[in-house]
Amino acid sequence: MQEFHEIYTSIYQWLDMFLISTFRLISNPVSGFFFGTFLLSLWCTLIGELTSLGVGRINRTHLKKLEQESIRLHNLSVKAIIHKDKESYRACNKMANEAWGKYFFATISQSAASVWPVPFALAWMHTRFEAIEFELAYPIPLLPDVVGYPAVFIPMYILVRICFAKLKPWLPLFHGDDAPKLRRPGQEDEKMITWADVDKHKGLPG
């Protein structure tokens, strides 16, 4: 246990040194704080996205199975409504919603995998920047007049996530879903019938 504690402490010290050094890259303290927070948001986004990618690959078969079941039942409900069969629509829709519920909760891991570094980043910032305060130029509902480091980190993180999502198609590792390569002939997935498809084809597509 003692050894574990020592390892934990030395990892923490190393990380602390590494993270704070990025806040000191710019000599002006305010600019340095904003730049450091930007880099920290970038780290959180990168690590989160990489974890999410890994988890996605491990859980892919299971998630695909759940997704396919909800798509199958949804498509059935579309067919029922197109045939003006209200009772079958209600039944199929109820089943589709249940199947989707399972899929929704199973995808929670994916969401948690992409955001887990954020609370740790906030915990570390608390140890370093607890006393920092910014006065808001304009009052924002639900926020006090003076805010702390989370009010800089959280919007910065959201901005970085949005930019990252836009850049994804050009980034190695993140640029696409490689799932189609794994499917064998005859194992093609059922595609979800969207209402736009129904409108476009004046009925059921295909």
End-to-end C-alpha distance for the chain, whole angstroms: 64
Q: Which is nearer to other proteins, 20 or 136 (CB)?
A: 136
Residue 181: CB minimum distance to other proteins, A: 21
Query: What are the structure tokens assigned to 112, written together?
Result: 């948690």
186: left (phi over 0), alpha (psi -120 to 50) or beta: left
From the list 168, 152, 149, the residue with the least C-alpha distance to 46 is 168
Q: Which is nearer to other proteins, 16 or 25 (CB)?
A: 16
Contacts of 12 (CB under 8 A, 6+ apart): none
CB 15 within 8 A of CB 33: no
Query: What are the structure tokens assigned to 159, written together?
Result: 């901005």
Residue 135: CB minimum distance to other proteins, A: 10
Q: Which is nearer to other proteins, 41 or 114 (CB)?
A: 114
Q: How far is CA 173 from the centre of its chain?
A: 16
Residue 15: CB minimum distance to other proteins, A: 13
Q: Which is nearer to other proteins, 26 or 132 (CB)?
A: 132
CB 157 within 8 A of CB 41: yes
Residue 27: CB minimum distance to other proteins, A: 26
Q: How far apart are CA 69 and CA 190, in angstroms?
A: 9
Residue 74: CB minimum distance to other proteins, A: 5
Q: Which is nearer to other proteins, 25 or 145 (CB)?
A: 145
